[in-house]
């Protein structure tokens, strides 16, 4: 909630704006299932108006909103997209997660098998261009080539990959870090060849990453986090370029692993040798452009 969010962002970093991405946490269950995501957009918009947030400080909360719609509705998704846009002039895109794995031990976020290949989903996705909306998704590293195929089929739709493609290091993927890292690197390289894909640098605080931070009595400090995650983020930056990379907090989900302040300190440590313009892209300009902030 707002008060908790402002406690996080007031830890010393210069947080100018935040982007709120769908969480399926606020839904009106007496509404038809396809219309339930509208309730979340309405709540976010009304609870983050300038008048309400002014008392907390300079940070513009939910300067952009990414909501949800089931794109498997095909062309019938258009009224839902229009309703989102009518609720908030800050509405910028749709996220529908594609994460799916046959092994339950590896599941973090249940998705739909074969979602990105579904012909009705693709019909719905095609509608986003008409409304100048981006498509955002989360999946696991074995699925990255599915997103490559989607991006090639829809080169005029801006796409955002969350959590660097979800490298799995739990369940059957545990104790195989170097092997999985090599597979993940190949997937990132293929994704980077699609100019309409942007990647969010974050998500490694999730349990699926296998670092075990959420299970420790004491959380990691920024030095430990930077040392553990740098190879992943630097590979993304090398392949995508700073113009298509943006750091993400993924809060409050990753609050189980570390604090907001520590997380952003780790990002700053990783990029300490970057130029001022490169860091501006990673921490501000890419997100500002993609979400039209």
pLDDT at 110 over 80: no
% the chain with pLDDT above 70? 93
pTM across the whole model: 0.94
pLDDT of residue 240: 98
Residue-wise pLDDT tens digits, 183-210: 999 999 999 999 999 999 999 999 999 9
State the chain's mean pLDDT as an integer.
93
For the chain, the structural domain boundaries read 2-290
Q: What is the mean pLDDT of residues 233-244?
A: 98
Q: Would you say residue 32 has pLDDT above 70?
A: yes
Residue 108 has pLDDT above 60, yes or no: no
In this predicted structure, what is the pLDDT of residue 107?
A: 63
Average pLDDT over residues 27-52: 80
Phi-psi region of 114 (alpha: psi -120 to 50; beta: other; left: phi over 0): left
pLDDT at 156: 98
pLDDT, tens digit, for every residue of 260-285? 999 999 999 999 999 999 999 999 99
Rounded distance between C-alpha atoms, residue 144 and residue 72, angstroms: 20
Check residue 1 and give its pLDDT: 87
- Compare 253 and 109 and report the one with higher pLDDT: 253
CA angle 254, 163, 141 (to 5 degrees): 125
Token pair listed for 215: 């299970």
3-state secondary structure 77-98: HHHHHHHHHHHCCCEEEEECCC
Residue 58's pLDDT is 80
Provide the token pair at 57: 């400080």
d(CA 200, CA 21): 12
First to last CA, the chain: 22
Q: What is the pLDDT of residue 29?
A: 59
Answer for the pair 139, 166: CB distance below 8 angstroms, yes or no.
yes
Percent of the chain with pLDDT over 90: 83
Q: Which of 210, 133, 204 is nearest to 165 (CA)?
A: 204
Provide CB contacts within 8 A for 180, sequence distance 6+: 141, 167, 168, 169, 173
Label residues 109-129 b or e (16+ Cβ within 10 Å = b): bebeeebbebeebbbbbbbbe
- pLDDT-derived band at 50, boundaries 50, 70, 90: confident
State in words which class domain 2-290 has: alpha beta
Are residues 168 and 208 in contact, defined by beta-carbon separation less than 8 angstroms?
Answer: yes
Residue 258: pLDDT band with limits 50, 70, 90 = very high
Residue 86 burial (CB count, 10 A):
11
pLDDT digits 0-9 by tens, 129-168: 999 999 999 999 999 999 999 999 999 999 999 999 999 9
């Amino acid at each position: 909630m707002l008060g908790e969010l402002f406690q996080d962002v007031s830890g010393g970093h210069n947080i100018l704006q935040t982007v709120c991405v769908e969480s399926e946490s606020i839904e009106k269950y007496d509404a038809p299932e396809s219309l339930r995501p509208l309730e979340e957009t309405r709540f976010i918009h009304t609870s983050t108006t300038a008048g309400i947030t002014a008392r907390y400080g300079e940070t513009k909360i939910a300067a952009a909103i990414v909501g949800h719609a089931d794109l498997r509705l095909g062309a019938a998704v258009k009224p839902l997209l229009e309703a989102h846009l009518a609720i908030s002039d800050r509405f910028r895109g749709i996220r529908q997660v594609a994460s799916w794995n046959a092994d339950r031990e590896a599941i973090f976020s249940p998705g739909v098998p074969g979602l990105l290949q579904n012909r009705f989903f693709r019909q719905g996705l095609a509608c986003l261009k008409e409304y100048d909306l981006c498509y955002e998704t989360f999946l696991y590293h074995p699925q990255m080539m599915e997103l490559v195929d989607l991006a090639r089929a829809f080169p005029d739709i801006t796409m955002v990959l969350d959590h660097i493609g979800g490298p799995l290091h739990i369940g059957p993927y545990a104790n195989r870090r170097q092997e999985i890292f090599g597979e993940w690197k190949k997937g990132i390289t293929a994704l980077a060849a699609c100019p309409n894909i942007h990647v969010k640098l974050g998500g490694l605080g999730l349990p699926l990453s296998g670092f075990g931070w959420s299970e420790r009595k004491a959380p990691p400090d920024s030095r430990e986090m930077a040392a553990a995650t740098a190879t992943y983020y630097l590979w993304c930056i090398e392949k995508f370029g700073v113009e298509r990379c943006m750091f993400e907090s993924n809060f409050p989900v990753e609050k189980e692993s570390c604090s907001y302040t520590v997380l952003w300190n780790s990002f700053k440590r990783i990029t300490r040798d970057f130029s001022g313009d490169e860091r501006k892209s990673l921490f501000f300009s890419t997100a500002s452009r993609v979400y039209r902030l």
